[in-house]
Structure 1
Amino acid sequence: MGTRLQHKTALVTGATSNIGRAIAEALAAEGAHVVVSGRNSERGQRVVDGIRAAGGRADFVAADLDGSPEASRALAAEATRVLGGRIDVLVNNAGIYPGSTTPTLDEKTFDQIYAVNVKAPFFLTAAVAPAMAEAGGGAIINLGSWVARLGLPVGAAYASTKGALETLTRAWAAEFGPAGVRVNAISPGVVRTIDPDETEPRPGDNMMAGTPAGHVGPPAAIGHAAVYLASDEASFVHGTVVDVDGGRTGAAVFFP
């Protein structure tokens, strides 16, 4: 166990699998007391049990962040209670990705994408940031995406929500930074856990072809970035989007 986040508390949304789980585990491994939040209580409890087995502190709080202010406020209140009265670190990770093309995306799904990916973190931040400021400071980490800056022929609505969240990151840094609340974002590339027995790439893995890394990234890489942004080591970092994408948006590798 590390000590970089000792005596800190953290709320991670969408923390029952993949990136969210890795972030929760990484924060807990550095000493933070973490609230693992998500819709599936069985998966959430497995994450909590794993953190506790490794010597960390974690609790599960169920939440269906549907974009309503009430849902976000309820999660903020319950997480604050479970964490002993304060949230030092908020990670807005929960999101959905219907990979539809523009002509095939119906209005109901469009509204749902924006509700979960933009409205929910907006109202959760609105509920948590003022309390952080009153307590003397805190850190908010949003999850963007490389698709916000590199256009793809599918998932336009999803990409636009991640662009919105990266813009909110900069706006919130200006709004809450003077009160001691640092707001930053992480922009992952294609990230997933690789099964050692895999023999064939999965759909989407080829999106990392032509990058310096040349392969999909492990969820732990995003967890490491979150630890840095949550820690005092990043005390002079405000309004920044940290690309953890294998070089997807910054460099192209071509072979003759």
Structure 2
Amino acid sequence: MRLAGKVAIITGGANGIGLAACERFAEEGASVIMADFDEQAGKEQEALLKEKGHGVTFAQVNVADRESVASLVEKTLEQYGKIDVLINNAGITKDATLLKMDPADFQRVLDVNLTGVFNCTQAVAPHMIEAGGGKIINTSSVSGVYGNFGQTNYAATKAAVVGMTKTWAKELGRKGINVNAVAPGFTATAMVAKMPENIIKQMASVVSLQRLGKPEDIANAYLFLASSESDYVHGHVLHVDGGIMM
């Protein structure tokens, strides 16, 4: 097993890509903390995964709140004694064009998608340093690289995540911590499934592989970056987008 004996915190773990990652990591032997704001979904998914024999524990967290994040880290250390992997996967969207965007929606997306990544990493990194190493994987997006209509707030946070990833790679690499990012393309999550079929087909048509990504596609990228197979991959942004901008 590629993550045997490892302890991983995966934020936004109760649905979509995060949920796929929780299951994938557990299959590979990790003890997984499924951290999410949605308590109902988290408890339901925790029960389903435990029925499959997976070592997954739900923990409610608001990544935008420093006290909530500190509590998550403290409880994880009390239970497992270490944190080997942090996946900063939690994120939200509140889309609108520039001229129609509510400033409150702009700020809320920054609070979760950007400040949340900072809060979690700043809370976990000292413990990884003390342990002599770890893996931090941040979730960016193709929207952060190329921009996307109606996503001023979301694209801004995902571009900033790339900058933070490269900065932290410079700061933490000498401490034995690998820091990388994954930039997913259009992915067939439950949220996307609610879109009109013609819009989904249009999204797939701009992808070189002519399909949307599956949550498992992104989870497998997380797994590679969390495993020992990527020990010399550092400060990298891995695009998992089916060749969307080739």
1:236 alignment partner, SS class: coil
Task: Report 1:85-96 matches (<5 A).
Answer: 85-96=81-92
Look up the SS of the partner of 2:90 in the other structure: coil
Report what 2:179 is aligned to. 183
SS of 1:103's partner is helix
The answer (yes or no) to whether the contact 1:92–1:121 under 8 Å persists in 2 is yes
Paired residue for 1:23?
Answer: 21
Structure 1 counterpart of 2:103: 107
CA offsets per residue over residues 229-255 of structure 1, 9 Å max, x none? 000000000011111111113x1xxxx
Q: Which runs of 5+ in 1 are unaligned?
A: 252-256
State the partner residue of 1:63: 61
Equivalent position to 1:34, from 19, 32, 35: 32
| Letter of the 1:229 counterpart | L
Of Structure 1 and Structure 2, the greater helix share is in 2
Q: Which secondary structure does the structure 1 equivalent of 2:58 belong to?
A: strand
Distance between the aligned counterparts of 1:156 and 1:143, measured in 2? 17
TM-score by length of 1: 0.90
- CA offset at residue 85 of structure 1? 1.5
Q: Which runs of 5+ in 2 are unaligned?
A: none
Q: 1:44 aligns with which of 39, 42, 45?
A: 42
1:137-176 superposed matches below 5 A: 137-176=133-172
Contact 1:16 1:44 (8 Å CA) reproduced? yes
- Give the one of 78, 86, 108 matched to 1:81: 78
Contact 2:94 2:106 in 1 (8 A): no
The structural deviation recorded for 1:133 is 1.2
Q: Is the 1:36–1:47 contact (alpha carbons within 8 Å) kept by the matching residues of 2? A: no
Task: Summarize the alignment of residues 200-219 of structure 1 with structure 2, pairs less than 5 Å apart.
Answer: 201=197, 203-219=199-215
What percentage of aligned pairs have identical amino acids? 35
* 1:13 paired residue among 11, 14, 18: 11
Provide the C-alpha distance between the structure 2 equivalents of 1:103 and 1:131, rounded to a whole number of angstroms.
43
Alignment correspondent of 1:97: 93
Q: State TM-score, norm by structure 2.
A: 0.93
Report SS of the residue matched to 2:238. strand
Number of equivalenced pairs: 243
1:204–1:104 CA distance, 2 compared to 1 (3 A) = farther
Structure 2 letter corresponding to 1:74: S
Q: Structure 1 segments of 4 or more deviating over 6 A? A: none
